[in-house]
Amino acid sequence: MPKPIAISDSANFYVSAERCFDPALRGVPVIVLSNNDGCAVARSDEAKALGVKMGEPVFKLRDKIRDHGIRVLSSNYTLYGDMSRRVVEVYETFSPNVEIYSIDESFLDFSGFRDRDAHARSMKTAVTRLTGIPVRVGIARTKTLAKCANELAKRNPIWGGVLDLCDIAAAEALLPRVAVGDIWGVGRATVRKLDAIGIRSAAELRDMPVRQARQLGTVVLERTVAELRGTPCLSFNDTVPTRKGLAVTRSAGEPMCDFTTVMAALTAHATRAAEKLRTHGLVAGSLTAFYHTSRFRTEDPTWRASRTTQLLPMSQDTFDLIAAARRCAEAGWPRCEGDAFANPWGFRFAKAGVMLTDLLPLADRPATLFHPGPERDPALMEALDVLNARFGRKSLTLAGEGTAAKGKSWDMKAGHRSPRWTTRIGELPIVRAR
DNA sequence: TCTGGGGTCCTAGGACCC
DNA sequence: TCTGGGGTCCTAGGACCC
């Protein structure tokens, strides 16, 4: 018999995290925006009730925000990341094995507990008491069924936020109530195909012939069917998997119309990407830089540039990454007579990014026979990181990304960001007032 | 005027090899 | 007219997740 797995997730996590520190946000409609204040990515129950959709662009919500007094917040990832860490700390006192799945969801090994329901309820209470974040728990013998249990618990408050589907009869009774689109791993495209052959509930999907499932939705759907039948196909994984890639991409606060501005944004993104590499003790073997015009403004001239270059030797050095990003940016810039980096067509670039692949732990970096030059002293990057850790991110940056005095037009908008309550003492209102 | 960011996994098809 | 078979590796693109 497969062991019981629980999944615990936070309700409207970003909104819940904000509410922990600002009681005025409780009981009223609240939305948290994506980077650049673009779309609603988290909504309180009250906001959902007003019909605010996930991912809806904020400019389309203007009337609703005004008419219903919806509170609008920019995303504050520093706060959410820290709150997430606290929630996981509590989980770890309730299960010997915790697999962090996302910022607001973790799988927990629930084997060995005699009364799983009671255990889950005391965990739920503890998380709320110690962090202020409300959570819901689904339990079953496969991850997919646990996610179904969680989904049911979310939608039916009568169970008090905890549902155990380990029992065959319970699954039998409740799976007809889960729509295929609400099953983990079944997205829009698959829903459409399943609907065409009359499969609409989790119970119907479970009873579908596996061969047909594979043919319709590849091995992924075949696994989902097996998981719904209680056969685990997705293993419990409490070790952090090795990263395959890493990206830093942003929409610009204002359109970027010249090479210098695009390069300033790419410099900032490459800088951040290098920081991430060093945090994880990795080096990268290749870098892709891209920038493109807005995909929504189809009447404007469009340009999409994406170039990849090798990092040789593999590197985690900010300067190396910026140099590579510059090579890509130059190679991708629209060619014109005269000044090679002018923009006579009036392209308005909306987004730029840096992606790193071929990642390896620094210790495993292969030696190279022909260096392009002497390697820089890692002490420089170390000093950079120490200073930025001590005085706050971006205290020390490269001139290439521009200076605050001159204005960073490419920098994202974040007009409604709350204080980083748990990680920046200087942002606490009471400290600021002194 | 204004539309997110960062991941994973799978498949098909081409290049290449013997 | 008739033009092998079987393997690996890589990449692009699709689907999905939160």
Per-residue model confidence (pLDDT) at position A137: 98
Consecutive 10-residue averages of pLDDT for chain A (434 residues): 96 97 97 96 97 96 96 96 98 96 97 97 98 98 98 96 94 96 96 96 97 94 97 86 92 95 96 97 95 91 92 93 95 87 93 94 85 79 94 89 78 92 86 54
In DSSP terms, which residues pair with A359 in a beta bridge? A284
In A362-420 the beta strands, taken as DSSP E runs, fall at none
In A212-367 the beta strands, taken as DSSP E runs, fall at 245-256, 282-293, 304-315, 349-361
Burial class (CB in 10 A: 0-12, 13-18, 19+), A286: middle
Contacting residues 144-183/A vs strand C (CB within 7 A): 147, 183
Question: What's the CA–C1' distance between A224 and B17, in Å?
Answer: 37
Per-residue model confidence (pLDDT) at position A406: 64
Per-residue model confidence (pLDDT) at position A207: 97
For strand B, which nucleotides have at least one atom less than 7 Å from a protein CB? 1-11
* Closest nucleotide over all strands to A308 (CA to C1'): C11
* Closest nucleotide over all strands to A219 (CA to C1'): B10
For strand C, which nucleotides have at least one atom less than 7 Å from a protein CB? 14-18
* Closest nucleotide over all strands to A102 (CA to C1'): C18
Per-residue model confidence (pLDDT) at position A343: 92
Question: What's the CA–C1' distance between A218 and B13, in Å?
Answer: 17
- Token pair of A114, please? 């005699």
- Give me the long-range contacts of A233-242 (CB less than 8 A, separation at least 24): A233/A142, A234/A142, A234/A143, A234/A144, A236/A3, A236/A5, A236/A97, A236/A99, A236/A107, A236/A109, A236/A143, A237/A99, A238/A97, A238/A98, A238/A99, A238/A109, A242/A359
C-beta atoms surrounding A106 within 10 Å? 22
Question: What's the CA–C1' distance between A91 and C8, in Å?
Answer: 44
The C-alpha atoms of residue A402 and residue A299 are separated, in whole angstroms, by: 30
The C-alpha atoms of residue A270 and residue A316 are separated, in whole angstroms, by: 10
The C-alpha atoms of residue A427 and residue A100 are separated, in whole angstroms, by: 29
Sole residue written with tokens 């065409």? A196
* Closest nucleotide over all strands to A359 (CA to C1'): B7
* Closest nucleotide over all strands to A243 (CA to C1'): B7
DSSP state of A36: G
Per-residue model confidence (pLDDT) at position A369: 75
- Token pair of A79, please? 């706060």
Contacting residues 217-236/A vs strand C (CB within 7 A): 217, 220
The C-alpha atoms of residue A429 and residue A427 are separated, in whole angstroms, by: 6
Whether any strand C atom is under 7 angstroms from the Cβ of A408: the reply reads: no
Whether any strand C atom is under 7 angstroms from the Cβ of A189: the reply reads: yes
User: Helix A210-228 vs helix A143-155: angle between axes, to the nearest 10 degrees?
Assistant: 70
Per-residue model confidence (pLDDT) at position A194: 97
Per-residue model confidence (pLDDT) at position A21: 96
Sole residue written with tokens 């889950």? A120
Query: For A385, what's the count of Cα atoms within 13 Å in the CB-facing half-sphere?
Result: 18
